[in-house]
Every structure is written in C-alpha cells, then in structure tokens.
Amino acid sequence: MKKSKFYNNNAQIKLVFTSPLYLNIINYTQQNWLKMWMLGFNTKEENKNIKLDDPHGINEYKSFMLQYLSNISEICDKESTIVLVIGDVKKTDKIEYSFENIWNEFSYLTDLELIKIYEDSIKQKLKANNSMGVRSGKVTRVDKIYVFKKSNVI
C-alpha cells in the first residue's frame, strides 16, 4: 500500500469512516482533485495510474474493493471500527450491483467482520450532486452504511 507522506506509522486508528468507489458512476480522481493533491498525488499521470476512473467491470471492482478493505485493515487494530457508505447502483429497474452481495463473495478472504448494515433512503431533491447533470444522483437511491470490526480469524 502506498502511504501518503502525511501518514503516521505510530497512529492508532480507532475509526475509519469512508465512502469508497461506486462502480461506473464517477471519475473519483477528477472529482476529488484537491484530496488527491493533499494525499501527494499531484500529476495527471499519477492520478491516471491510480485507476479511480469510471469504466470498470464488476470483477475489477471486486478486486479493487478486496484490496481497499485489506489496506484499511492493515492500519487498524481489534479496537478499530470501519464504516463504509456505499449505495446500491441501479441504472435500470433492477439493482446492478450491491456491495452486500459482493461482500458475501469475498468476506472469507479478509480479517474483517460485518457487524451491521444500516439503510439510508435518499430523497432525490436533497442530494448534493443534483447540480452535476440529468443523470446525477439517480443511480443511488439507497445508501447503505456498513460497519466492520477486525475478526479473530483468517
């Protein structure tokens, strides 16, 4: 895992609260350029190599999420709580993917235990990204909040 120059190896992480990539919705390096710059990624080529852009298939996304969770787990201890906010992606009348289903496929490969899932239904008129165009905000009508702890097994 490439650690930012701001990372402190002696830090004892007790809470990670994050919203990882949603599959095929947004180019994260472009939308979060300021965060990327603060983390030490400051060229277009570096950002391109991170591969946080939009058009990836489900298998690439699964691999990314497994690595993402493994990296988070590395900096956490048994007392840490990890909270992920990930919306179910629905581009047609059916759910295209749900992290819950993906988690069930590879949970045995991690040292994390899913403790609880909360659902947060989103009223379209209140979404912050409504200003980003016609399609924005319409593919994630429900955000799910996943709470993890490190398990004693793996």
Mean pLDDT of 82-100: 76
Per the CB < 8 A criterion, the answer to whether 97 and 57 are in contact is no
Q: How many C-beta neighbours within 10 Å does residue 114 have?
A: 17
Instruction: Report how far residue 129's alpha carbon sits from residue 125's, in angstroms, rounded to the nearest whole number.
Output: 10
- How much is the pLDDT for 86? 86
Question: How does pLDDT run across 105-143, given as a tens digit for each residue?
Answer: 999 999 999 999 998 876 655 544 444 454 455 555 678
Instruction: Report how far residue 97's alpha carbon sits from residue 49's, in angstroms, rounded to the nearest whole number.
Output: 25
Gyration radius from the chain CA atoms: 16
**Mean pLDDT over each residue of the chain, to the nearest integer:** 75
Tell me: pLDDT of 103 over 70.
yes
% of the chain residues with pLDDT over 70:
57
Q: Token pair for residue 70?
A: 């493994």
Those residues whose C-beta lies under 8 Å from the C-beta of residue 30, and which sit 6 or more positions away, are 47, 53
Cα 62 to its chain centre, rounded Å, is 11
- How much is the pLDDT for 146? 95
Instruction: Give the residue from 152, 67, 79 showing the smallest Cα distance to 106.
Output: 67
Instruction: Report how far residue 26's alpha carbon sits from residue 141's, in angstroms, rounded to the nearest whole number.
Output: 15
Distances (CA, A) of 82 to 96, 113, 140, 144, 154: 25, 10, 21, 14, 17
Q: Which DSSP category does 45 fall into? A: H
Residue 38, amino acid: M
Residue 75, amino acid: I
Question: How does pLDDT run across 8-42, given as a tens digit for each residue?
Answer: 777 778 999 998 866 666 666 666 677 777 777 76
Instruction: Report how far residue 39's alpha carbon sits from residue 5's, in angstroms, rounded to the nearest whole number.
Output: 7
Mean pLDDT of 36-62: 70
